[in-house]
Structure 1
Amino acid sequence: MDNLILEALVRALAVGTPLLLACLGAILNERGGVVNLGVEGLMAVGALAAFAVASSSPDANLWVAVGASMLAGALLAALHAFATVTLRANQFVSGLALALIGTGAAGLLGKKYEGLPLFNKVQDWHLGGFAISPFTVAALVLAAGLAFYLNSTRSGLTLRSVGENPAAADVLGVNVGLVRWLAVMGGGALAGLAGAFLSLSYRASWSDNMTGGLGWIAVALVIFVGWRPLRAILGSIFFGFLYYLQFRLQGNSPIPPEVFSAMPFVLVLVVLALAGRRGQAGDAPAALGRAYVRGER
């Protein structure tokens, strides 16, 4: 029984790894005051970039592929930063456009990679009889690191101040635009890393729509965990367990499989509604979603 529970936990953590990485990226964005709804597109582009590099040759360096995924995510996120920080466009509209651009471009450019073999994948580490991906370990370390950065460093305090009161930060000499640009691109790099996990470790292949809505769940997860990186670990395990349960129950239950496929998305709506009733949305940065114009109240 104990082994069954431990196996479920390990599997839930594995499935929750891309959610955790993408959620951390979104937290980084939003702590700086910028909403990015384009996480799904960033993950798709990151997954494609990683697979394209890793499948280019049997001798391809997988960590170079990981770096390519993060670079692709950061560069695509730069479009969002340019639109929302420099041009002060609506952050929600820009994010939705980014999601469409990212998933569309990945689907189009990835056609030639469908069905191609991956010469080697990122191998799991075996600990105590269980397999765990290096991506999972990295995600846990990044969550702890981001929590420390936001709460215990000067630059983390600067980022939070830009998300809470950019005018006050500007008066103190902070370059609000630069901080937001870096936060958006850093968040994009983490979303790209989440995509790399899918194509290099979890599925070790490329297919159109392989992100399967995980990016949208990650966006909602940010609200669910109250913009706190360490809570994101528990939230990702929770939703990872739902996906694990979905796979375990399909074929072993008279309930149609579509019901299990919809479970994570239905639960996103439920937990967001509950969070709203409890006032959890009040934890959001005060300037979240608002463009900053110097001298404007």
Structure 2
Amino acid sequence: MIEILLAGAIATGTAILLPALGELLTQRAGITNLGTEGAMLAGALTGVIMGISTGSPWLGIGAGILAGAAVAALFAWAVVFRGTNQLATGLIVWFLLFGLTSMFGREYNGQVLPPIGKLAIPGLSDLPFVGSILFHQSPIVYLGFALIAGVWWLLTRSRVGLLIRATGERPLVVAAAGNRPRLIQFLTTTLGGGLSGLGGSYLSVGVVGNWSNNMTNGYGFIAVTVVIFAAWRTNWATVGSYLFGAAITFASQLQARGFAVNQYLLDALPYLLTLVVLVVISSQRKAAPEALNAALAAR
């Protein structure tokens, strides 16, 4: 049971982890993108359409990334260059994509494409206990592992990451140094949207193998919440994402084993459990990026 729970936590939590890493980058640059859910929906549907059209799930994944990036670029253009309200614009983008994906996805409801499936890492997948949990997963899960390290390194060890963090803290100083903070925010938000699109296409193409309306089920909003409660730290954002995956797996295992638990309570369990634990771990949180606070307060 424990191995099933932990393996499910990794597999399901990756659908939260990918947009959470994207939102982490975005918020460190001083922008909150509530349109993350819309970018995930765009990635999920586009991935299915491309996968069915070409017969290649990997082309579907790539198309999903581009779709998520395009949605985030639209949001970033409005917020960064036109000065619109961040929260309102994010919600509008979500509503827009919810409607568009529901309309254009109707003919794809029920159509199935072979999911990417799992890849066992030779040697490592045979290790006792951890082998089946960490090394017998989808290739996108392994990409998620790499992205955890990559985002951490980018933000803490690279000059690009320094510019992103400085833009989130002191955009005027960044501008005085000869850089363009608004362009940095635009590009970082677009990159974050690409990771959200990857999360959506992983869900539709990599796990489920089909499309259904609103299939992301609020995962984008959970990703935004995970980043905030994790205090903009990569390690805690990772913990929060996999925790949510564990809660979903636990709820599904209760159902599969015939426990007489109210269905609505089971549906709420992952969100409730994640919220409680993130509140606990955020007790030692650090301050939000100043530009993020200023932008939200100004609106």
| 1:181–1:189 distance in 2 versus 1, CA, 3 Å | same
Give 1:295's aligned residue. Answer: none
Residue 7 of structure 1 aligns to a residue whose secondary structure is helix
Contact 2:115 2:207 in 1 (8 A): no
Aligned twin of 1:258: 264
Name 2:6's counterpart in structure 1: 9
Give the aligned partner of residue 100 of structure 2: 105
More helix as a share of residues: 2
Contact 2:66 2:194 in 1 (8 A): yes
* Structure-2 change in CA distance of 1:8 and 1:279 (3 Å): closer
* Residues 93/200 of structure 1: CA separation in 2 closer, same or farther (3 Å cut): same
Contact 1:83–1:89 under 8 Å retained in 2: yes
Give the counterpart of 2:86 among 91, 96, 106.
Answer: 91
Question: 2 CA distance for matches of 1:103 and 1:290?
Answer: 29
Tell me the CA shift for residue 262 of structure 1. 0.6
Counterpart for residue 244 of structure 1: 249
Q: Matches of residues 55-134 of structure 1 in structure 2 within 5 Å?
A: 55-57=52-54, 60-118=55-113, 120-126=114-120, 127-128=125-126, 130=132, 131-134=136-139
Residue 39 of structure 1: how far off its partner (Å)? 1.1
Q: Which residue of 2 aligns with 1:40?
A: 37
Larger deviation: 98-107 or 181-190? 98-107
Given that 1:140 and 1:233 are in contact with CA atoms closer than 8 Å, whether structure 2 keeps it comes out as: no
Give the superposition deviation at 1:143: 1.1
Q: What SS is found at the alignment partner of 1:283?
A: coil
State the match for 2:178 in structure 1: 173
Aligned pair partner of 1:212 in 214, 217, 236: 217
Residue identity opposite 1:74 in structure 2: A
- CA–CA separation in structure 2 for the residues paired with 1:16 and 1:202: 12
How many residues are treated as equivalent by the alignment? 284
| Structure-2-length-normalised TM-score | 0.90
Gaps of 5+ in 1: 293-297
Question: Take 2:249 and 2:60, find their aligned partners in 1: how far apart are those partners?
Answer: 27
Q: CA RMSD in A?
A: 1.8
Please say if residues 81 and 185 of structure 1, whose CA atoms lie closer than 8 Å, have aligned partners that are also in contact: yes
CA contact (8 A) 2:230 2:278 kept: no
State whether residues 243 and 264 of structure 1, in contact with CA within 8 Å, keep that contact through their aligned partners in structure 2: yes
- Tell me, in whole angstroms, the C-alpha distance in 2 between the residues paired with 1:49 and 1:36: 20
Residue in structure 2 matched with residue 135 of structure 1 by the alignment: 140
Residues 273, 231 of structure 1: alpha-carbon distance in 2 compared, 3 angstrom cutoff = closer
SS at match of 2:269: helix
- 2:22 maps to 1:21: no
Partners in 2 of 1:255 and 1:7 — Cα distance?
A: 20
* Preserved CA contact (<8 Å) 2:168 2:292: yes
Distance 1:90 1:272 in 2: 27
Deviation digits for residues 178-211 of structure 1, max 9, x if unmatched? 1001011001000000001111121111111111
CA distance in 1, matches of 2:74, 2:192: 13
1:160 matched to 2:154: no
Aligned match of 2:28? 31
Unpaired runs of 5+ in structure 2? Answer: none
**Conserved in 2, the CA contact under 8 Å of 1:51 and 1:200?**
yes
Q: CA deviation at 1:140?
A: 1.1
Q: Distance in 2 between matches of 1:291 and 1:269?
A: 25
